[in-house]
Amino acid sequence: MALSGIRWLSTLAVLLAVIPRTTHAAPWDYEGKIVAEVRFDPEYQPLPAGELRLLVGIQPGQALTSAAVREAIQKLYATGRYDELQVDAILREGKVVLTFFTKQNWFISRVSVEGVDEPPNREQLVSATKFQLGAQYTEKGLSDALQGLQDLLQANGFYSPHIQPLVERFPANDELHVLFLIEPGPRAYYTRPNIAGDPRLPVEDILGATRWKRWWGLLGWKQVTESRTQQGLERVRRAYLKRNFLLARVNLDSLSFNRDYNIVRPDIQVEAGPRVNVTTTGAKLSRGQLKELVPVFQEQSVDQDLLEEGARKITEHFQAQGYFDADVSYKVTDVSKDEENIEYGIVRGDRYKVVHVGITGNTYFDELTIRERMSVIPAGRISARNGRYSQALLNRDINAIEELYRSNGFRDVRVESHVERDYGGRERQVAVFLKIIEGPQWFVNSLDISGVDLQLYAYVQSMLTSTEGQPYSAFNIATDRDNILNFYFDNGYPDASMEVTATASTREHMMDVKYTVHERRRLYIRDVEINGLSATRPSLVMSRIRLVPGSPLSLSSMVLSQRRLYDLGIFAKVDMALQNPLGQTREKRVLYQFEEASRYSFNAGVGAEFGRIGGGTTNLSSPAGASTFAPRILLGFSRLNFLGLGHTVGLQTRFSTLQKRAIVNYLAPQFQDRENLNLTLTALYDDSRNVNTFTSRRLEGSVQLGQRFSRAFAAQYRLVFRRVSTSDVKILEGLIPLFSQAVRVGFAGTSLIYDHRDDPINATRGYYASVDVSLATRGLASQTEFGRVLGRNSSYYRVGRDVVLSRNTTFGYIGNYGSSDIPLPERFFAGGATSHRAFPENQAGPRDLVTGFPIGGRALLFNQTEIRFPFIGNNLGGVIFHDAGNVYSGLGDISFRFKQRNDQDFDYMVHAVGFGVRYRTPIGPVRLDFAYGINSPAFVGYKGSITDLINNPPKPGDQVPQRISHFQFHFSLGQAF
C-alpha cells in the first residue's frame, strides 16, 4: 500500500484538469471557490463518518485549495484503508461539489485449509500461506500463498495437488476469509536414493540410517513426508558423527519425482571429510563428556575458536572438581589426508579443597544476601565435597556483587579478590577472600517529569522508584522507563517514547534526573471480531474478552483476554491481532482467530503397585500386610467443550486386583463467567481393598464449588452423598455390627487452602496450610451423624545455599453427635509414604484385639521433618527424615508417650527415622525412602481363616504375637509433603 508518485501526479492531474459537468469554467477557476458539498463514492466507507470528516478536513463553506485536497488524499492513504483514490469536482450554482472515488483495501480475518490428511497438519498449511491475521490482502499475497502450499505439499509427497482458493468478503468489517480447498492426490513413496560425493561409508549403511524402508525393505519404501525426510538426513549425519567424521556434510540436493510410478528419489550429496579423533592425555574424559565439553561435536566444524572454547570448558570442568591449577592445551595433527587428530593435553595439578570463602567490607548488605548470588562455595560434607571454584566462577561472582551494589546506588563499588593456597598451614587447602569497597551511595536529588498529561501525572508519579531521596541507579531508572512505557502502551499510546537524562547535582553524591515523555497519538478500540468458532458458543468467548469498543487500546488487556480463553482448555490455538496494524487510524479493530481443540480424547495406561498393600483374602495370617504385586490398567475418556459451554465431561477407570474404580466428572471452569470460580460434579463407583481389614464398595455423588480469592488463597465448598458397604471384614462382626452394614452418608464440607510455596511440586521456601471441615447430618439424608476436621500445616526453610529444612504437621478428629457409631470406612486410616513411614500403607492406629487388623481411629496427629540436600550431581538429592505420630482411638487418647504399654495399647506416638533419595524429573521427584521404626507397635494376630474365627471362638494358642516390621521401604512420585 505504498503511496506511489505516479498515483499522486495522476490524482493531482485529475484535480486540476477536472472537466466541469454543469459549467464550462476553466480548471484554475476551482481554486478558491466555496465548497458546497463533499461526497464519497461508494457511500459506504471503511472509516467511521466522524473520523473520515476529520481526516479530509474540507468542510462545506470553506474555500477550496489544491493544498487542502492534496493533504486530504495523503491522510486517507495513510490510514491504510484505501487501495485507490480519485477526486472529482463539479460546479453547481457557482460552488464546488467534491467527490472522492475510493476503492478500499481488504484485511485477512481467517485462513482455512481443508482436504489434506496429516502430515502436514492444518497449522502447517495455514502457516505456509504466509497470510497474517489482520494484514492487508493482495493478489500477489494470494499467488505467494498458493506457491507456499504447493511447496509444502510437495515436501510431504503430494506432487499432483489441485488447490482452489475461495475468498469470502464481509464489507461490514472490511475483512475477508480465505478458504483453500485442496485435492492432494496420492502421496508419493521413496525409492532408492542417489548418493553422490565422497561418502566413505557403504551405501547400504547410509540407506539403513535413513529408515526410509518399510521393514528393512521387505515391504518396499515408506511414504514421503517432510519430517521423515529431515529425520532421515539427520540420522545419516549422526551415523557419521558416531564414526568420528565430525566434519561430514550431508545435504539434500533435490527430490526427483517420477510421475509414472509416483515415487521420489532423494538426491543426497555426502562429503565425509577426514575422520577426526578427539583424545585427551594426562586425564581421562569419557566420550560423552568430550561431546559435552568440546563444541566441535555440536558445530561439526574445526577452527581455532572452537578448539580454544573446548580447552576452556575442559579447564573449568577440572577446576570444578578441585583441580584449581588445571591447564589444558591442544594440538591438531594430520595423520593422513583422511584422518585428523585433536589431542587435548590436560595437566590437572594438585587437587585442592575450598575450605573458606570470606567476605569483608560489606556494610549495606548482609553476608547471606551476598552469598546467595555466589557460585564459589566452600566444601560441604555431602555435596560439593571439594567446594566450587574456578577463575571464571570467581569473575562472575565479582560482577554479580558489583551489579547488586550498583542497583542500589553504589556507583563506585569495587570488589577485590584474593586466593590463598595452603590455607591455615595445610597443604592443598584454599581460601577465597572477597573485599568489597562499597564507596559512597548516590541518591536522587531531584526528579523532573515532563510531557505527561496532567490527568495522568499523579498515577505515573506513583509508579516510580527513582524518586527524590531514593538511591540512584541505572537499574532503577530502567525500571521506571519500563513501567512508564508499559503504562502508556496499555492505555492506547503505542508510539509513546521516553528520554532520560541524569546529571550530577551540585550536592555531593546526588543526581538530578529528568524524564521526558512523548505521548503521541492515542488509539481506541473500534470493535472486536471473533472467527473460527464451530462448536463453541460466541457468547462464551465474548464473556472472556475484556475489551470494550470505544475504550483505549490496551495490549495487556488483549493478552489477558487471550490467557482467559486458553484457560478454558477448549482451544488449541488463539491468535489475536489488530486489523490494519500500520494504518494511521484513531480506532482499531481487534481480531481473535480460534482453532478449537479436539473435543474427544482417550487415555490408557498400565502399571503396578508393590509393597505391603491391600488385603481382602480370607487368610488372617498377615494383619500388617503381605508383600503384594498388583498390576493395574487405566482407561479414560473425556469430551471437551460440552454443549459449546467450555465444560468437560470425563470418565476415568482403574482396574487392578486391589481396586476397581470408575469416576464420571463434569467440570465447569470459570463458572458463571467468573474467573475465580469452578464447578465440579462427580459420580464415583469404587471397590477397594487398600485397607487390609476389609473390602469397601462405595457409590458416591458430589458437587463442589471452588473459589480462588488470590493466587495463594482458595476455598472449596462441597456436598457429598455416598453409600458404603464392607465385605471380607477380618474382625468379629458381632462385636461391631455396624462395621459390616451398608450405610448412607450425606455431608456438607468446606476446605480452606493457603499455598505460599515457591514450587508446589518441590518446595524450597514458603508455607502451606489447609483445613477441611465436614458435617454428616440427617438433614442431608445421612444415616449416621458425625463431624470431621482435618488440618495440615507445612513450612519450608533454606539453610545455607542448597539445604532445605521442611516440616509438616497433620491433625484430624472425627466426632459423632448422634446415637449411631462412625462407620468403619469413614474412620481415619493412615500410615505409609505420605503420612508416617514407620508403617505400611494404612496400618497405623488401633487394631482389632483378636485378629490384629487395623480398625481405624477417630483422631490422628502426625509430624514429619525432613532435611533435603543435594546428593550426587544436579538431579539426585538426598533426604534425612523423622516421622512421629499415630492414629488414635479418640481425641482424649492423643499421647506423646514414647513407649507402648502392652500389645493392646496403640494410643502412643510412634517414631521413625530414615534416609531417602529423590531423582528430579519434569513431573516431580521420584522418591525412594528407607525408614526404621524405633518403637513400632506390637500386637497379636489370629492363626487361621475368617471361617475358623467365626465358627470357633479364639483360644490362647490361636493368637500369635506380631509386630510392624522395624524396616519399611516406600517408593512413590513427588515429595512426601
Answer whether residue 267 shows pLDDT above 90.
Answer: yes
CB neighbours of residue 838 within 10 Å? 30
Best CA proximity match to 95, nearest among 42, 43, 20, 41: 20
Answer whether residue 575 shows pLDDT above 90.
Answer: yes
Q: How confident is the model at residue 390 (pLDDT cuts 50, 70, 90)?
A: confident
Q: How many helices (H) and strands (E) does the chain have?
A: 17, 40
Task: Write out the three cell numbers for 698.
Answer: 462405595
Task: Give one DSSP letter per residue of 526-561, joined into a string.
Answer: EEEEEE--SSS-HHHHHHH----TTSBP-HHHHHHH
Please report the pLDDT score of residue 3 as a whole number: 35
d(CA 594, CA 285): 52
Please report the pLDDT score of residue 23 as a whole number: 40
Q: How confident is the model at residue 21 (pLDDT cuts 50, 70, 90)?
A: very low
Answer whether residue 731 shows pLDDT above 70.
Answer: no
Sign for the CA dihedral angle at 366, 370, 376, 377 comes to: positive
Answer whether residue 18 shows pLDDT above 70.
Answer: no
**Average pLDDT of the segment spanning 742-771:** 92
d(CA 835, CA 837): 7
Please report the pLDDT score of residue 958 as a whole number: 64
Answer whether residue 396 shows pLDDT above 80.
Answer: yes
Answer whether residue 12 shows pLDDT above 50.
Answer: no
Residue 312 phi/psi, 5-degree rounding, is -65, -40
Mean pLDDT, all residues of the chain: 88
Please report the pLDDT score of residue 673 as a whole number: 83
Return all residues near 343 (Cβ < 8 A) that are at least 6 apart.
279, 280, 281, 330, 331, 332, 333
Please report the pLDDT score of residue 19 as a whole number: 37
- Among 88-92, 565-569, 870-874, 947-951, name the one with the lowest average pLDDT: 947-951
Task: Give one DSSP letter per residue of 854-877, joined into a string.
Answer: B--BSEEEEEEEEEEEEEETTTEE
Please report the pLDDT score of residue 872 as a whole number: 81
Q: How confident is the model at residue 605 (pLDDT cuts 50, 70, 90)?
A: confident
State pLDDT tens for residues 306-332. 999 999 999 988 887 888 889 999 998
Domain architecture of the chain: domains with CATH: 5-104 (3.10.20.310), 107-183 (3.10.20.310), 189-271 (3.10.20.310), 275-347 (3.10.20.310), 355-376+389-437 (3.10.20.310), 443-518 (3.10.20.310), 524-596 (3.10.20.310), 655-973 (2.40.160.50)
Helix or strand holding residue 788 (H, E): strand 786-799
d(CA 529, CA 579): 10
Q: What share of the chain is helix, strand, coil (3-state, %, to 5)?
A: 20, 40, 35
